[in-house]
Structure formats: structure tokens, C-alpha cells
């Protein structure tokens, strides 16, 4: 049985001191054994302070991005080795804001996946369609292309740590959440794709999360869908009590 995963992506929010206060509060609120894996994803500058603050906690640390390069003269980049050194266990790859605002291509994300997997962290590959693509009834073709190009060159044994997050662009930060039936339909499509391209075992093993205006009011019904293995939370993860409420729905 796949374990539920709840990831809080803080995006470009919270200073270092605010981040420390946040994870300290979460650590107190979520003390004890948790049935779900809980991951917080602060900005780069807060990763090391949060690592220290989360010592002896079950809460895991994730990064919002990673360089496609291993090391070298790449000003402003942060490598997978650096993330591993601050105890990151998860790394977001291809969040829609990286794709849309910073023009990250599937080919670039393929290289980023290689870096994360080489350093034995869990990549969370984000895929999702725009409102125009959904309106044109091309959602599944679009998602299949993203999966094919991002996973090109990988064999099944490479992808033991893979997590996929379906986050429809039209639902991110808009307050519009996909209907439960729409969410399940897409998650089942992704699982079927993994079975066809790799194996039934891999399809059954790979966690598939939903992201897109997830909050404490809708998390329960979202995570009750058969093929939804957790959530990637944006704005609601910035409030400790709201985030804890979402975690409790995953228990």
C-alpha cells in the first residue's frame, strides 16, 4: 500500500526567521508517529536553518528547484549535491511556475531528474495542463508528452524514488480545484501510462499527488480518490494550523 505524502511548497515566502518559527510550530503540532510522510519545501536560504530546527522530527525537507548541472561556473544555481548536504529528501522538478515563468523545457527537466536521482533524493515531477489545453480536450495528449520527454532515457530501475504530482495550471493559486472525478481520471491515466511504459509493479509503487488550490476544506475528498496518494499544497501550507489540518486528512 502506498503511503500518503503531504508536501507544503512555500514558494517565495517566509524569511529565515519566519521559516524557523514555522517549522518549530509544525514540529510541536505534529510530534509523535505520523501515518503520512510530511515534507516542507522552504526557499533555498532557509533550508539549512530548517534542517537544524527539524532535528529529531519526522518532518522531511524538500527543495523547490535544482540545477541541471552538477557543479561549476553557473552563477545563481544550486546543485543536487548541495541539497543533499542540507538533508533534503525531496526535490520539486518542473513546477508549473518554473515551466511558465522561467521557460523550463521538458528536456531541461529531464536533466534535473537525472541530477536528483543520481544523488538519491526523491524527485517530485510536476505535470499539468493549461485551461486552453483542457478546453481543447487535449489534456491527456499534453500530459503524455510531458511524461515521455521528462522521463526519456530512464529505465524502471532508475525510477524507484519517483513521485509524480498532477497540478493543473488553471487550478494553481486560483481557488479553483478540479472536481474529484476529474482528478481521479487524470491520476488513473498517469498510472495506466506508467504500467504501459514500464510495468504494473512500477505503476502500483509510484506515488501520484494532486496539487492545485488544495486546502483544509477540500483535502479530504481529494485524498479519498483511489489513485491520489497525497497532495502538493501551496498557499495553505503557509499557515501551520491549516497545513496540519490537511496532514490529518491524510492519516
pLDDT of residue 171: 82
Query: Active-site residue numbers?
Result: 95, 167
Q: How many domains does the chain have?
A: 1
- ∠ CA 74-76-77, rounded to 5°: 65
Three-state secondary structure of 13-68: CCCHHHHHHHHHHHHHHCCCCCCCEEEEECCHHHHHHHHHHCCCCCCEEEECCCCC
Q: Which domain holds residue 134?
A: 5-250
Q: How far apart are CA 185 and CA 169, in angstroms?
A: 16
CATH number at residue 156: 3.20.20.70
Q: What is the pLDDT along the chain (251 residues), one digit of tens a residue?
A: 789 999 999 999 999 999 999 999 999 999 877 889 999 999 999 999 999 999 999 999 999 999 999 999 999 999 999 999 999 999 999 999 999 999 999 999 999 999 999 999 999 999 999 999 999 999 999 999 999 999 999 999 999 999 999 999 988 877 777 899 999 999 999 999 999 999 999 999 999 999 999 999 999 999 999 999 999 999 999 999 999 999 999 98
Q: How much is the pLDDT for 191?
A: 98
Is pTM, for the whole model, over 0.85? yes
* pLDDT score, position 170: 86
Sign of CA dihedral 97, 102, 106, 111: negative
pLDDT score of 32:
77
Amino acid at each position: 500500500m502506498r503511503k500518503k505524502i503531504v508536501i507544503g511548497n512555500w514558494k517565495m515566502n517566509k524569511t529565515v526567521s519566519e521559516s524557523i518559527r514555522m517549522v518549530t510550530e509544525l514540529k510541536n503540532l505534529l510530534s509523535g508517529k505520523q501515518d503520512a510522510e510530511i515534507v516542507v519545501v522552504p526557499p533555498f536560504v532557509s533550508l539549512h536553518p530548517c534542517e537544524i530546527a527539524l532535528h529529531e522530527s519526522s518532518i522531511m525537507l524538500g527543495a523547490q528547484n535544482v540545477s541541471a548541472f552538477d557543479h561549476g561556473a553557473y552563477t545563481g544555481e544550486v546543485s543536487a549535491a548541495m541539497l543533499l548536504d542540507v538533508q533534503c529528501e525531496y526535490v520539486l522538478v518542473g513546477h508549473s511556475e518554473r515551466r511558465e515563468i522561467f521557460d523550463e523545457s521538458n528536456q531541461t527537466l529531464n536533466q534535473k531528474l537525472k541530477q536528483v536521482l543520481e544523488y538519491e533524493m526523491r524527485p517530485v515531477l510536476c505535470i499539468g495542463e493549461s485551461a486552453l489545453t483542457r478546453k481543447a480536450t487535449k489534456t491527456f495528449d499534453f500530459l503524455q508528452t510531458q511524461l515521455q520527454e521528462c522521463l526519456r532515457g530512464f529505465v524502471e530501475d532508475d525510477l524507484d524514488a519517483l513521485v509524480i504530482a498532477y497540478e493543473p495550471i488553471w487550478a494553481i493559486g486560483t481557488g479553483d480545484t478540479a472536481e474529484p472525478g476529474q482528478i481521479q481520471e487524470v491520476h488513473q491515466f498517469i498510472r495506466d501510462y506508467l504500467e504501459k511504459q514500464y510495468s504494473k509493479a512500477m505503476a502500483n509503487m509510484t506515488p501520484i499527488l494532486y496539487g492545485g488550490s488544495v486546502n483544509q476544506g477540500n483535502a479530504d475528498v481529494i485524498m479519498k480518490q483511489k489513485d491520489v496518494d497525497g497532495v502538493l499544497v501551496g498557499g495553505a501550507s503557509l499557515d501551520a494550523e491549516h497545513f496540519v489540518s490537511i496532514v490529518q486528512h491524510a492519516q
